[in-house]
Structure 1
Amino acid sequence: MAPDLSLIQTFLVIAESGSFTHAAEVLNCSRSHLSKQLTKLEQVLGVSLIMRTTRAQRLTEQGQLVYQECRQAMNIIDAACAQAMDITNSPKGQIKINSVGGFIGEEIVAPLVSDFVKRYPDIEVELDFSSQRVDLLLDQFDFVFRMGSLPDSNLIARKLLTLSNETMAAPAYLQQRGTPSHPKELKQHYCITGSIDHWHYQHISDPKLHAEVAISGGFKCKNGRAMIASAIAGNGIVRLPTLYCPDELANQTLVPVFSDWKVADTPVYLVYHQDPHRALRFNMFAQYVVEEFQRYSEENYRKK
């Protein structure tokens, strides 16, 4: 049976103090308690560690060996704890992030991360744009940028942005194929799809009125830019956040399809683990992200 670590720590203090009296002062306990602790350790190991009389003490041969090995081990433990505390309390170390790609990932998250690394050069950031929905714990990510509704979990989710969505098409396409007046009519149209092939709508005047339609088309892609380009080329109707194409809407390269029906907004979240002892770099990054997205939202709002 391995001895309790506290017994070893007591033995090290006794050996280094030179006397039970001094060791008792260091540990703020009685000499009899120390004697019982040492005796217990010796019983567990089956060896004598310290020869002691009323006036003196010395380490036995086995005691010298145990002392040297345990002192070295404790030094390693102390160094590891100090290093962990230093990393926890200093802006350095690694951050692993997964993010949605497209406009959010490339135009907002990537520059934000780049600026963060420039500000804190001792922090190493790994940014992943893989499209599959990751598990923070299993996939060993520290942060995830996610769009859409989130399931209940023990994770912390901080809302960063709300994206307004619009159903759009090129004027030439609508002139050729006609403009649908109801979402159900999308079944007779070519639609440009991403990862969602069922579109949900709510009536603007009567919020209780909903419509859901299964859509299809000749082009499917999870990249917003590619979907916009395909819509401009007249390949069909597309549904995307207006943040992705403000210029196309402003110059009417793309125009809204519906006036009475709207698509629900899409929230963007920063998701991360709950940890009361989070390292400083994680807290700094989370706060930095929230502040930068707030600034971005305000600037974007002023442009409208």
Structure 2
Amino acid sequence: MSVIAFAKNWNGKFKNSTYELVSYTKELANKLYTNLIVLSIGEVSYDELKTLGKYGADRVIALNDAQFNVLTSRAYAKVISQLADKESASVIVMSDNNSGKAIAPRVSVQMKAGMVAAVQELPIDLDPFVVKKRVFSGKAFGHVQIDSEKKVLTIAKNCFGLVENQVDVSIEEFTPEVDASLFKIQVIEEEEQKDKIILSDADLVVAAGRGMRSPENWGPVEELAEVLGAATACSRPVSDEGWRGHEEHVGQTGKVIAPKLYIAAGISGAIQHVAGISRSKCIVAINTDPEAPIFGVADYGIVGDVMDVLPRLTEAFKNSKS
């Protein structure tokens, strides 16, 4: 019996979310008195694979095949399921990102395993196997019991943190049996965005709503984000009115994010918006209305005009950096 973590790479490099996944799964493997196997799919260098040992990977099994550089959920699920059968794995763990959301349900079906998405912490109990996750748009926590012999979990971003646990990791190769018909996605052209932090990956986010009053007033938001090295985001009404692009829309019908710091400027805090940010480590709200719902979920609140508060925050951060 073993535990497998699927380590997603981005152009051959691992991000902190992958290391958080390995940290989490190592602790889970310890609780189950078994070893941790980390599976890497796609071309990744030997040195990069070795970094997984810093966070507790006992074995790294690498599928260094160029045809897997493009994420195809059907093919990836087949590889993970085959490795799980080969290693008699009882638990498969992935990050709750776009790849995990696409692959985990397929793996669950193929392995006839119970699945829980966006788990918040290590299992509350192992017999029966009970995990904790947010429910009702992040307003409450639910305890979910998995009764099947095999289990598939995805873990929420920033739910566990990085735990260094250097081990002497071994790196092995794996050659699965995958039908060519599963590879139906082709990349025709790539455009890499280099001048902007990707919202879903950002640890720091500065967001704003209709309290900015017009799209021409967005300068203070972008200035604060630049000083912090943060991504920018917005509420749905702002994207609906064309003030900002829909790729910045955060909420139940937009992107669900979990940064370490989320600054909400001029956002009232409708339940649909809160559903997209409730997993943030720290929420700072700025609003002229002291009764705004956003203050009910904020860790820190500033009652004031965003056009006055944002430049002051920017100046304060500049001074602290200098």
TM-score clears 0.5: no
TM-score normalised according to structure 2 size? 0.24
TM-score scaled to structure 1, two decimals?
A: 0.25
Per residue, is there more helix in 1 or in 2? Answer: 1
Instruction: Answer with 1 or 2: which has the greater Rg.
Output: 1
